[in-house]
Amino acid sequence: MAPTLEISEPKAAADPMLPVPCRIRRVRNETADTFTWELQPADGPARFAFQPGQFNMLYVFGVGEVPISISGDPADTQSFRHTTRAVGVVTRAMRQLRAGDVLGVRGPFGSAWPIEAAAGRDVVIVAGGIGLAPLRPALCRLLAQRRRYGRIVLLYGARTPQDILFPHELERWRGKFDLEVQVTVDRSADTWRGNVGVVTTLIPCAPFEPANAVALVCGPEVMMRYTVRELQRRGIAADRIHVSMERNMKCAIGFCGHCQYGPAFICKDGPIFPFDRVESIFGKAEV
């Protein structure tokens, strides 16, 4: 029998499905299909607090709503950022919006990268394609408290040199003595002199101490599958590898049912999971 629940009086809480109008302050094109917005609540700047790895639901007037990770620096108190790839109906409509336009925002939602728990350890960040966007706030925070961590390694794979996200920032980060940044592309024309190959090829020689490392992984599911395999081969324990999962999502508060991944709701239990929590279904087809 289902245990009964006490039905309480409705509280005057904010409607969780009602967006807050936010204004685009700046649009920056990152690659041919990817752009970054800087946003502020429409009725004036207000502190938007979030944890690295969390996402917002962005609503385009009359078109629809999509979950998009927050890509800004959590220390930024003036605005928040989203980096989006235009691939679907809503994200293509988003691409048509300009500075000054207003959209609806709900959030932030979901679990965060374990930045606090990683203190005292090496941190390995492995990103594929647009997967770098939700990891950017994590790296910003790690760098802001650099002394609390051991080695920090960022391994990034893009499809082609033209698809590399945040190239100037990557170059700036690569110039730092206390950060190891390696970039690779799946394929390139003759002009590219950097690494060619999938991002997993960078893992075997990356400088970190597996017994004392935490890994943060975000990218396409197939990329994460091989990345986790390589990280485990290096000796990082499953509960110290964190993956960011993606599924269809309509509400972000556990009511619509779309984002179920086995027993988990990606919107509220994820999107970031310690790998041991999803290991039994990870890589199974069509779950």
User: Site for another protein (CB under 8 A): which residue of 169, 225, 253, 279?
Assistant: 253
Q: Is 21 in the site for another protein (CB under 8 A)?
A: yes
Stretch that binds another protein, among 6-14, 115-123, 141-149, 180-188 (CB under 8 A): 6-14
CA angle 25, 27, 29 (to 5 degrees): 165
User: Site for another protein (CB under 8 A): which residue of 32, 49, 196, 287?
Assistant: 287
CB of 66 to another protein, least distance (A): 10
Q: Is 189 in the site for another protein (CB under 8 A)?
A: no
Stretch that binds another protein, among 5-13, 31-39, 70-78, 228-236 (CB under 8 A): 5-13
Q: DSSP assignment, residue 4?
A: P
Subset of 94-153 contacting another protein (CB under 8 A): 100-104
Determine contact, residues 69/134, Cβ cutoff 8 Å: yes
Q: Residue 272 belongs to what H/E stretch?
A: strand 272-274
CB of 221 to another protein, least distance (A): 9
Separation between Cα atoms, residue 207 and residue 124, nearest integer Å: 9
Helix (H, G, I), strand (E, B) or coil at 60: strand
Other residues' Cβ atoms within 10 Å of the Cβ of residue 201 = 16
- Give the residue with the Cβ less far from another protein, 197 or 262: 262
List of residues 6+ apart from 197 with CB closer than 8 A: 184, 186
Give the pair of three-digit tokens for residue 197. 């190959």
Binding site for another protein (CB under 8 A): 1-5, 7-11, 13, 15-21, 23, 42, 59, 61-65, 85, 87-88, 100-104, 246-248, 250-251, 253-258, 260, 262-263, 265, 268, 280-281, 284-287
